[in-house]
Structure 1
Amino acid sequence: MTFMSRILGLVRDIVFARFIGSEAGADAFFVAFKIPNFLRRLFAEGAFAQAFVPVLSEYRSNGSHAAVKELINAVAGCLGSALFVLTVFACVASPLVAWLFAPGFAGDALKFALVSDMIRITFPYLMLISLTGFAGAILNSYDRFAIPAITPVFLNITLIFAALVASNWFAVPVMALAWGVFAAGCIQLVFQLPFLVRMHLLPVPSLDFQHPGVKRVLTLMVPALFGVSVSQINLLLDTVLASFLPTGSVSWLYYSDRLAELPLGVFGVAIATVILPSLSRQHAGVNSEKFSATLNWSLRMVLLIALPSTLALLLLASPILTTLFMYGKTTAQDIAMSTASLQAYAVGLTAFMLIKVLAPGFYARQDMKTPVRIGIIAMVANMVLNLAFVLPLYYYCNLGHVGLALATSVSALLNAWLLFKGLRAKQVLTLDSEWLRHGGRMLLANIAMAAVLLAGLTMAPSWHELSWLMRAMNLALLCCAGLFAYIAVLTLTGLRLRHLRNH
């Protein structure tokens, strides 16, 4: 289900590239969409889920259905009221929000007014999608993973419709995308409610900040807001700094980030979503051996996907971007700029994915202090690296946006390493005997895949000169050849399907 939603997200971005390219209106929309989307990740995939799911799992394990329902009602009331106040403030003060998140746009009155207007339309998406994330967290806690995973499909379908059809109804076509974001938030929330009704867990909101469960969620959530979302905060800082760079920088970063996030979203987020309820129950049941085994399994699964994905994006960045996005308003210059930032993001892809599965190891144990401390270190490192990378790259080769992506990747590597060391130091993660064999298999398989891809690239014609069909066929052939080499070497070195199961 996650794979389906991410593929549709890729189709959505192809439509965006064709119809809005990287012009000023595109930059304005991507900022207006990124603000609530960033906050959504804090709630739907980040801090709220990490804080709420362990508490809900504990209530489910140790309490009655009535106690669980009371907790859900109280959290719904408190979360909903806080989001409503924040949404009203942001809509009223949209120029201030625009200035905070894209101060570089202030020098362009038209672009600044456009992003301010779109924020008023897109910001309510935060409230709607956060409540959707709340409903999804309940479903995930009861091992109903498919419904929350398929829900983002409605966002992608709605935005594709807005770009292809509804844009003709507006004097400023890009405004259709802003209204599409709002409509998608409503659709996604309504879609999940019937499934909560079937479980007899549909919230009846009650404003009770004194509820013990709400207090615990808030206590866990405040530090988790920072600790689990450092990589997203770094990406948002990229947007803020990119607003000072030449027009197109925000869009170049958006397209490259979306491709880097495809494996992250399909596998990293999916595995993290599945293991958090399991780890929470294992911690509540004091099963430390199973807890460590689950972490070992999740790390092996992530590396099995992350390492070849990183290599493939580094080697195939230009062919992928050309095949997917070089149509309509997207130029060869846009592709070249996006290629450079995609390769910079690819450097940190494995780290981004590891963070998704290492952080739950702390949050399932309700340990918020360690990832927050690590997050602060990574955040400071990202800020320092931004200054170290962006200015030289901007002034000497006009690639300031690449410096932003590279700084984010390096800080993610630091973040992942410190999280790993922290779990090892607390003795909740003990590497098992499978790692030596598994590591050897992956090394050989990745070398074989890289060799096949490099050989294929030397024989490929100039991608810019090919038709869409020939680009797609050549890219598909390259990807299939690389995938075949990777799987073949893994199989020849002894990997079997039973090794991929979490026993």
Structure 2
Amino acid sequence: MSLIRNVGTIGGLTAISRVFGFARDMLLARVLGAGLVADAFQLAFTLPNTFRRLFAEGAFSVAFVPMYSRALHGSDGKPGSEEAAEKFADDVLAVFVWVLFGFSALAMVFMPGIVWLLAREYGNVAGKFELSVLLSRMTFPYLFFISLVAMLSGLLNARSRFGPGAFAPVLLNIFLISGILLGREMRGGSTDDTVVGYCLAGAVSLSGVAQFLYLWWESRRAGVRLKVTMPKLTPEVRRMGALILPATFGAGIYQISQLVDTFFATSLPQGSLSLLKLADRLNQMPLGIVGIALGTAILPMLSRHIHTGDAKEAQRLQTNAFEIATLLTLPAAVALAVCAPAFCTAFFVGGKFTAADGAIMANIVVALVAGLPAYVVVKILNPGFFAREDTRTPVWTALTSLIFNVAVNLYVVNRYGIVGLAAATAASASLNCLLLYAMLHKRGWFRFTAKLGGRIARQLVATAAMGVALWWAMPLMADRYAGSVFDRVWSLSALVGLGMVVFFAVAWISGALDEDLVKLLKRRRPKRNKSDDEILEVE
């Protein structure tokens, strides 16, 4: 099983989810705009999602997957077994279920306090604080079910079955699209959007149930037979618990920054939080498809190489992931930055979402995507620590970056508003990336080679050429971006097509594209080759 094949599976299914998510947000913008109910729902949706990414998909997964993988496959010459892996998973589940239930229940009880901490300014707008609390209580059960989904995804990932976990978010977006359409129908000709918010919040929790049932079914198909037993703090469970707390910071700098951003965004004029979240959707497209796919695929594979003492293959795996990440995210970041006005206008302006909203959103996108390469590379660097069960080092890098983010926000938010906030997030992610690499390099766990540096330099040349071409072409179709559906589609298609042709042509001429990488990307089933040049096959 190769890195390319795993990333292709995860990235392809994640791309489907992102397309559905994009359609969801396009509908959401048109139906709710950037007003009171939109802000209240965005806060209610942010809370369980942030805790899910921070604890379940972040801290829990990076601690659980390597330990489960070791129990299943063995390490240090000791054989693994299905029985050992099953016992470990059952012991973890027995404790995890009650922790989740207790945390979710307490959060729902104290939701007014949580909302006040994050959005105290909402109390200055009639009804906004109360609606935010109610919608947050309606969405929070999602955390319980989606956290169990994260555990089941980890079990399947350790068995190199990446598809179900990558497909599950599609169900979330299908439910949310249905909630928006149902809410719009129930609202009718009324100007009160509250019913749309209720439908959306209910759809969030129902989607959690659907994703859990789907992953449970897929786990049974894979031969995993989990059962809930009486909770016992076994040595392995205690060890995993000790890893989770620091991993919360190490794996979750982006999520922690999201909470910080939410706090500052809610202090700005109404609609700011909605505009930030919608802008982040454009940023999340390449981040989700590339970053999450690479990070998910690399952790169990890197763990196996490290546990078997194969440092050379570990270096190769991380080098490949780094090159793939920059190859895909550098042009994506520049294209999004240059074409932000066109994308925001064509995709979102309409209905209750005004042209003025689109102009502000475009500036936010430019600021956010400045940190896009760093967001993705962090997903590659963090597993270098987690696979070695070192969750402490990322704590300090993440904490340093978080403090930096807060300090910068205190300066820029009052001066530059929501755009300054987005720029601060990008800067803090870049700092975290640099610190993580410095520590990996210092310990000899990953080295940035001259060959990799040369390849990235050529990628930058191709990216610059593409950026110039898009900057030249953008004004030529300015009156089409807000036109009919046909005008919007063909004008954006022309921009995307031009960007791709220029980038890949210059990349090919300059040598930015590794011929071996291209060959393996084309192969349906890559074959193992132990040559130093054929570095993508890792098993």
1:403 equivalent in alignment to 2:420: yes
Q: Which moved more, 1:45-54 or 1:177-186?
A: 45-54
1:194 equivalent in alignment to 2:194: no
Question: Which amino acid is the alignment partner of residue 298 of structure 1?
Answer: A
Partner in structure 1 of residue 268 of structure 2: 245
Partner in structure 2 of residue 165 of structure 1: 182
Find the residue that maps to 1:462 and give its secondary structure.
Answer: coil
CA contact (8 A) 1:75 1:205 kept: no
CA distance in 2, matches of 1:261, 1:497: 29
Partner in structure 2 of residue 32 of structure 1: 44
TM-score (norm 2): 0.90
Question: Which amino acid is the alignment partner of residue 102 of structure 2?
Answer: V
Which of 470, 481, 484 is the matching residue for 2:487? 470
Matches within 5 A, 1:285-304: 285-304=308-327
Partner in structure 1 of residue 533 of structure 2: none
Which of 476, 483, 486 is the matching residue for 2:503? 486
CA distance in 2, matches of 1:155, 1:167: 18
Matches within 5 A, 1:168-187: 168-169=185-186, 172-187=195-210
1:443 equivalent in alignment to 2:460: yes
1:66 equivalent in alignment to 2:78: no
Partner in structure 2 of residue 397 of structure 1: none
CA contact (8 A) 1:268 1:356 kept: yes
Q: What's the CA shift string for 1:233-283, capped at 9, x where partnerless?
A: 112211111111100100110111111111000110001100000011111
The 3 A distance-change label for structure 1 pair 451 and 464 is: closer
Task: Report how far residue 167 of structure 1 moved.
Answer: 4.4
CA distance in 1, matches of 2:464, 2:474: 15
CA distance in 2, matches of 1:341, 1:432: 34
Task: Report how far residue 111 of structure 1 moved.
Answer: 0.6
1:416 equivalent in alignment to 2:433: yes
Find the residue that maps to 2:351 and give its secondary structure.
Answer: coil
Task: Report how far residue 46 of structure 1 moved.
Answer: 1.2
Ranges in structure 1 where 5+ consecutive residues have no aligned partner: 394-399
CA distance in 2, matches of 1:81, 1:93: 18
Task: Report how far residue 44 of structure 1 moved.
Answer: 4.1
Partner in structure 1 of residue 7 of structure 2: none
CA distance in 2, matches of 1:60, 1:299: 28
TM-score (norm 1): 0.96
Which of 444, 466, 491 is the matching residue for 1:427? 444
CA distance in 1, matches of 2:246, 2:272: 32
Partner in structure 2 of residue 20 of structure 1: 32
CA contact (8 A) 2:481 2:491 kept: no
The aligned length equals 497
The 3 A distance-change label for structure 1 pair 465 and 195 is: closer
Identity of aligned residues (%): 35
Which of 131, 146, 150 is the matching residue for 2:163? 146
Task: Report how far residue 207 of structure 1 moved.
Answer: 3.9
Matches within 5 A, 1:43-62: 43-62=55-74
Task: Report how far residue 466 of structure 1 moved.
Answer: 2.1
CA contact (8 A) 1:105 1:112 kept: yes
Matches within 5 A, 1:236-315: 236-315=259-338
Which of 1, 14, 29 is the matching residue for 1:2? 14
Find the residue that maps to 2:196 and give its secondary structure.
Answer: coil
Question: Which amino acid is the alignment partner of residue 456 of structure 2?
Answer: G
Q: Which moved more, 1:191-200 or 1:20-29?
A: 191-200
CA distance in 2, matches of 1:390, 1:180: 33
Ranges in structure 2 where 5+ consecutive residues have no aligned partner: 1-12, 75-79, 188-193, 521-535
CA distance in 1, matches of 2:460, 2:108: 51
1:75 equivalent in alignment to 2:92: yes
1:370 equivalent in alignment to 2:393: yes
Q: Which moved more, 1:162-171 or 1:137-146?
A: 162-171
Partner in structure 2 of residue 126 of structure 1: 143
Q: What's the CA shift string for 1:301-351, capped at 9, x where partnerless?
A: 110111111101110111001111001100011111111111110111111
Task: Report how far residue 57 of structure 1 moved.
Answer: 1.0
Question: Which amino acid is the alignment partner of residue 294 of structure 1?
Answer: L
Task: Report how far residue 143 of structure 1 moved.
Answer: 0.4
Matches within 5 A, 1:285-364: 285-364=308-387
